[in-house]
Amino acid sequence: MTAEGPYIFAGTSNEPLARAICEHLGVPLRPTRIERFSNGTLKVQLGESVRNKDVYIIQSLTSPVHRHIMQLLMMLDIARSGDAARVTAVIPYYSYGRSDKKDAPRISITAKLLARLIETAGASRLIAMALHSAQTHGFFDVPLDHLTALRVMVDHFKKQDLTDTVVVSPDVGYAKQATKLAYALHLPLAVGSKVRLGDAEVEIATVLGSGGPTPKRAIVIDDEIATGGTMFEIVQAMSDQGVKHFSLACTHGLFTGNAIDRLKALTCVDEIVCTDTVYAPHAIKGIPKLQIESVAPVIGEAIRCNHEGRSVGELFAFWTEDMPPESWFG
């Protein structure tokens, strides 16, 4: 890290993660003053001059989503108008990621709209973690470093006895990422056939595996757990096939709606593993089996690479030994 170091500010969505990132880098979290007026509007003020500084603004776009989006846009605008040398938006969780295509008449591709707003507000670069779909990357015209939490998950599960275990992707959309985890852990892969019936309802028609006897344990991994409907249905479907134990894993643990009650009702689930991209104290209190792994070192190293002008590709060098050749993925 250079003597100056990056200037890091954070909105209110996930201050614990922002502080952990700064601690990893050995730099202070710069002060930010955010006020909410009686009419619902916001006042945001960065606590230090950013002139000619390399500025990073950390904000997860979690509930209340629109308030946190507005905080981010205002902070980006302040940094740009304050003559920062470069302004990078660090977004551990990117909301509206599911709104990445026009699958009904007269609707907005909101993931693209939000990308335009972030760029217009002043972001000259982005760092994001586990976007819901890879095509969201293409909505941005500025450089974007798309990080993954798979290394964190690999390190978590490698400490365990993985005898007679299978890795499961709830649907085809996440199968590529689940394949990487399965390969790194030297485990077989199964994929669910999911039909979404609504925001909180899904149906798992079947689970397609690699053949052989029914495993005793399944590691079910997805990019996020929101209402818990997908995890609930995949556990039910595989329990009917004879699987006795489950580990549920995701990058973004939102735990919205009745997710906590749904997941607590699954007595065959031994653990639920997520990262700290989302600050969810209600889940920490409500789910005794919840384990949270930090992505602060991953995001911190991405910031370090950007600040020092080095390739972020260094962060993914571990796939050289752990990963199958690209031909596996088509």
Catalytic positions, written as ranges = 194
Q: Is 39 left (phi over 0), alpha (psi -120 to 50) or beta?
A: alpha
The 8-class DSSP code of residue 31 comes to P
Chain centroid to Cα 292, Å, comes to 13
Q: Which residues contact 177 (CB under 8 A, 6 or more apart)?
A: 148, 150, 169, 221, 223
Q: Which residues contact 15 (CB under 8 A, 6 or more apart)?
A: 29, 279
Is 168 strand, coil or helix?
A: strand
Query: Do 11 and 57 form a contact (C-beta atoms < 8 A)?
Result: yes
Residue 41 CA neighbour count, 13 Å, CB half: 2
